[in-house]
Amino acid sequence: PSGWAFCMTFLSATWTLSGYDVAAHVAEETSHAAITVPRAMVWSTWSSAALGFIYLIALALCSTDIDALMANPLGQPIGTLTANILGTKAGVGLLAINFFAQFGCGVAFVSVSTI
């Protein structure tokens, strides 16, 4: 549905701007935390914002035919887009790396926040 699709558009930006939060959660386990944690938070925020901006702009520029992307029978336009740009094998490889990276970040975030 279009309402759900609208909510899902915020997901990339959320992953892009949530990197600083992990530094705050592991602050008590860091040596010289008064110096290194604020530095890590600032660096992660700026680097995530810059790299995420580049990633999102690249996705927007590569998405020239929206109707063809949405006609995917699986309903995953990002998979279709990466397959069109990189080829099927490289697209699946990139999405697998992305999946495992996001899964690892999610597991680390949940396990650190429950301690």
DSSP assignment, residue 28?
G
Q: Kindly report the backbone phi and psi dihedral angles of residue 24, in degrees, each rounded to the nearest multiple of 5, phi listed first.
A: -70, -35
Cβ pair 37, 30 in contact under 8 A: yes
Cβ pair 93, 100 in contact under 8 A: no
Residue listed under structure tokens 């927007």: 60
Query: What confidence tens digit (pLDDT) does each residue in 70-85 have?
Result: 887 777 788 888 888 8
pLDDT for the residue numbered 109: 65
pLDDT for the residue numbered 89: 93
pLDDT for the residue numbered 90: 93
Chain mean position to CA 72:
22
pTM of the model: 0.60
Low-confidence residues of the chain, pLDDT below 50? Answer: none
